[in-house]
A = this chain, B = another copy of it.
Amino acid sequence: MDLAAYLPFWNKLSDAERRSLDAATTQRRFAKGTVLHRGSEDCTGLMLIESGRLRVFTVSDEGRELTIYHLIDRDICLFSAPCILHSVDFDVLVAVEDEAVVDIIAAPVYRQLMDTNVDVANFTNELMASRFSDVMWLFDQVMNRRIDARLAALLVEECDQEGSSVLSVTHEQLGNHLGSPREVVTRMLKYLQTEGLVKLGRGSIEIVDEAGLRALAGDSLR
């Protein structure tokens, strides 16, 4: 566990501050599917992702999920510690998509550091501005892009992620990423199949024409 590699303010901390952060950090390994964090009641702590992939998402009252962003190596999850910011009044959930090794910094220790160290406070500012930008980008996508482009982008990204052109993802899982009902995803996948871009199997989706999907995705591919 090498906090210096994750935290750009490390060099500006005093020895005492470094010792306190070190002592407040625990490394844990989580299996795929684990839900690490559930909404603002939960103040798990700041998460530094050493390896693996986490999904940060919201759930509507009706149970519909929407992926707001993913976190991978060296990313930091701020909203797993909502209690460090009084003005956060929304809930996100964090789940493990690929087995993950995560360093968790206890929220009170981080908060105390934020209160006294201007570099830590401004690092937190930049981290939040960056997530805010992700959400604004997604919002624009949802409001203004067609579902076909967003689905095409998602398939290409899953393909890159899995390193395979055959995806074993369900229509419901795709819907959860896009914030769309399963029926909408199924209808759109059938359309993509008629266009010769994918081939639907039992519980699998084969990417037949990745270039075609990329063209359809356009700037929905970030």
Give the docked Cα–Cα distance between A87 and B78 (Å): 15
Q: A121-B125, A125-B125 are in contact. Are A60 and B132 (CB under 8 A)?
A: no
Select the stretch in A29-37, A96-104, A134-142, A157-165 that faces chain B: A134-142
Give the docked Cα–Cα distance between A142 and B135 (Å): 13
**Of the candidates B85, B122, B128, B140, which one forms a contact with A58 in the assembled complex, judged by CB atoms under 8 Å apart?**
B140
* A125, B85: Cβ atoms closer than 8 Å: yes
* B144, A62: Cβ atoms closer than 8 Å: yes
A86 at the interface (CB under 8 A from B): yes
* A115, B122: Cβ atoms closer than 8 Å: yes
Judged by DSSP, the binding face of A is: helix
* B143, A142: Cβ atoms closer than 8 Å: yes
7 pairs of residues in contact across A and B, judged by CB atoms under 8 Å: A58-B140, A62-B144, A87-B130, A88-B129, A88-B132, A132-B132, A132-B135
A89 at the interface (CB under 8 A from B): yes
* A64, B144: Cβ atoms closer than 8 Å: yes
9 A-B pairs with least C-beta separation? A121-B121, A90-B136, A87-B129, A87-B130, A60-B144, A85-B129, A118-B118, A87-B126, A89-B133
Can you name the residue of chain B whose Cβ is closest to the Cβ of A90?
A: B136
**Of the candidates B58, B86, B142, which one forms a contact with A136 in the assembled complex, judged by CB atoms under 8 Å apart?**
B58
